[in-house]
Amino acid sequence: MVDRPEGESGAERHDVPEGAADEVLDRPLPEGVRRRVVALTAESFGALTVAELPAPLRQYARFTPTRRAKFAGNAMAATLESDAVFRQRIAGKLREAQPELAGALEHGTPPAAADPLDVAAAAYVLRPEGWVKLVAAAGEEAQRASAERAGEEAERELARLREELAQARGEARADAERIRADLDAARRENESLRRKLRSAQSDVKRGEAAVRKADAAIAEARDRAAAEKTAADSEMRRLKARIAEVETALETSRRATREGRSVEDMRLRLLLDTVLDAAQGLRRELALPPANVHPADTVEAVAPGRMTPKDIATRALSDMDPALLDQLLALPQAHLVVDGYNVTKTGYPTMPLDKQRLRLLGGLAVLAAQTGAEMTCVFDGAELAAPVLLAPPRGVRVLFSKPGVTADELIRQLVRAEPPGRPVVVVSTDREVADGVAKAGARPVSSALLLKRLART
């Protein structure tokens, strides 16, 4: 009997043949037997307390049997071989779990129907008499079984490979037949495509020839069209020039007609004025009383608003006095011609052009209503980006110069159109305009004077 360490429970004590303790396995434990020993130990491992476990194995106490066999297999096998106390505790748990197998091994009669690997693993743990032979025999049996299984698997693999080879050969023959058929079809299709290619090449050559012919025809047509267009453009320019000449002649004729009519009217009015002046002179020569004199007018006195000779002497007005413009507009049939943008850009240049026009025309409308004089405001048409939709105010004529004609030239045309002797006042700061209208008989005044006069309205 083998002595047990003190402190072990009586359930863990069992008899071990004295000869079995001296038996030693002279070869490595067969792999199959080793796996069964590790699995058996892992199952019995959990039934032990932490104090009963060797120190190297205590860290695996909480593992499951499967994880224990996976991570602590080598450690458990080494401990079983080196630690007899641990092996005896595992053997005790094995006797409790498999009493029949343990009893049969201890009596030297292992069950014939049991798995040799299970028998060898139990014998390795229990260490009955002759356990080395049982382990060796189980290893040899496992090797024979493994060899037989390997042979059977090899035969099955060989049979499977032969079947696959036969199947592959059949498929190869079928593929070869299909490839031959595809090759024949490809050859026939290649011949057909070659014939079509030759036909297409011929069509392309004929098409290229037709394209070259069409290009030549198009080039000829373009040259002919260009020549015709050049001739048409030349004829159109000639006709436009002729139309412009006719329009100019027509406008000249109309202007001459209007000027002729205006001149005749002016001559008639001047003739009438001459007759009236002659009648007044004759009345003075004959010392006849004036026709419009009333008895109260013969009383000598100074009436309100009537200027005395002394007043007249003191009323010499400067060119910047707004009263000067009032006196000029008070003349019979006075005509005020305003250079629009010259006035607005002098008085309020920061405003947009449309706002400038509206402000100036509003002031001129008030002035026309106050004085009753004819008023014409001229704007330069070159300043316009688009046609102006403008309703002229009452009493003010609004004119824009035509393309190519400046406002200055239009003002000079207006002055020349007036009959000699009519009072025409031109408002412009432009010295060239002032000099030109002065030569034509008009009275030029500055834009600042008109702005001062409009500020009073």
Give CA separation, 179 vs 71, 172, 173, in Å.
Answer: 57, 10, 10
Q: Are 395 and 368 in contact (CB under 8 A)?
A: yes
Distance between CA atoms of residues 53 and 39, nearest Å? 17
Strands (E), 279-385: 335-339, 374-379
Give CA separation, 207 vs 215, 232, 257, in Å.
Answer: 12, 36, 71
- What confidence tens digit (pLDDT) does each residue in 71-123 have? 777 777 777 777 778 778 877 777 877 777 777 777 767 766 677 777 777 77
Phi, psi of 426 (to 5 degrees): -115, 125
pLDDT at 43: 76
Choice between 249 and 386, residue whose per-residue pLDDT is larger:
249
Distance between CA atoms of residues 261 and 419, nearest Å? 11
Choice between 449 and 38, residue whose per-residue pLDDT is larger:
449
pLDDT at 269: 67
DSSP designation for 129: T
- What confidence tens digit (pLDDT) does each residue in 439-453 have? 888 999 999 999 999
Give CA separation, 203 vs 86, 200, 206, 210, 218, in Å.
Answer: 100, 5, 5, 10, 22
Give CA separation, 397 vs 217, 400, 408, in Å.
Answer: 62, 10, 16
Q: Which CATH architecture describes the domain 319-455?
A: 3-Layer(aba) Sandwich (3.40)
- What confidence tens digit (pLDDT) does each residue in 158-186 have? 888 888 888 998 889 888 999 988 998 99
190 burial type by CB count under 10 A (0-12 exposed, 13-18 middle, 19+ buried): exposed
- What confidence tens digit (pLDDT) does each residue in 397-445 have? 999 988 888 889 999 999 998 888 888 999 999 899 899 899 888 999 9
Helix ranges (H only) for 23-83 are 31-45, 65-71, 73-82
275-295 mean pLDDT: 61
| β 335-339/424-427 pair status | parallel
Q: Are 421 and 277 in contact (CB under 8 A)?
A: no
307-318 mean pLDDT: 47
> With DSSP H G I counted as helix, E B as strand and the rest as coil, what are the percentages for the chain, rounded to 5?
70, 5, 25
In angstroms, the first-to-last Cα distance of the chain is 147
**Tokens at residue 308, please?**
């005395």
pLDDT at 307: 44
- What confidence tens digit (pLDDT) does each residue in 112-143 have? 667 777 777 777 777 777 677 677 766 666 66
344-362 mean pLDDT: 92
pLDDT at 312: 37
How does residue 345 score in pLDDT terms, banded at 50, 70 and 90? Answer: very high
15-26 mean pLDDT: 52
Of 5-9, 42-46, 170-174, 245-249, minimum mean pLDDT range: 5-9
- What confidence tens digit (pLDDT) does each residue in 376-400 have? 999 987 656 556 667 788 889 999 9
Q: Are 23 and 76 in contact (CB under 8 A)?
A: no
Distance between CA atoms of residues 213 and 211, nearest Å? 5
Residue 333: helix, strand or coil by DSSP? coil
pLDDT at 284: 64
pLDDT at 248: 83
Tell me, what amino acid is at 266? Answer: M
Q: Where are the domains of the chain?
A: 13-129, 319-455
pLDDT at 11: 38
Nearest residue to 415 via CA among 397, 434, 431: 434
**Tokens at residue 409, please?**
């030239």
Q: What is the DSSP string of 392-414?
A: PPTTEEEEEPPTT--HHHHHHHH
pLDDT at 296: 52
Q: How far is CA 265 from the centre of its chain?
A: 72
- What confidence tens digit (pLDDT) does each residue in 313-339 have? 345 567 788 888 888 888 888 899 999
pLDDT at 14: 46
Q: What is the mean pLDDT of the chain?
A: 77
Q: Is the pLDDT of residue 148 over 80?
A: no
Q: Is the pLDDT of residue 310 over 70?
A: no
230 burial type by CB count under 10 A (0-12 exposed, 13-18 middle, 19+ buried): exposed
271-297 mean pLDDT: 60
How does residue 295 score in pLDDT terms, banded at 50, 70 and 90? Answer: low
Choice between 363 and 52, residue whose per-residue pLDDT is larger:
363
What order of strands is seen across the sheet that includes strand 374-379? 396-400, 374-379, 335-339, 424-427, 443-445
Choice between 235 and 57, residue whose per-residue pLDDT is larger:
235
Helix ranges (H only) for 46-113 are 65-71, 73-82, 84-97, 99-106
pLDDT at 340: 92
- Residue 281 sits at the vertex; the CA angle it makes with 277 and 287, to the nearest 5 degrees, is 145
pLDDT at 396: 92
pLDDT at 376: 94
The percent of residues in the chain predicted with pLDDT above 70, rounded, is: 74
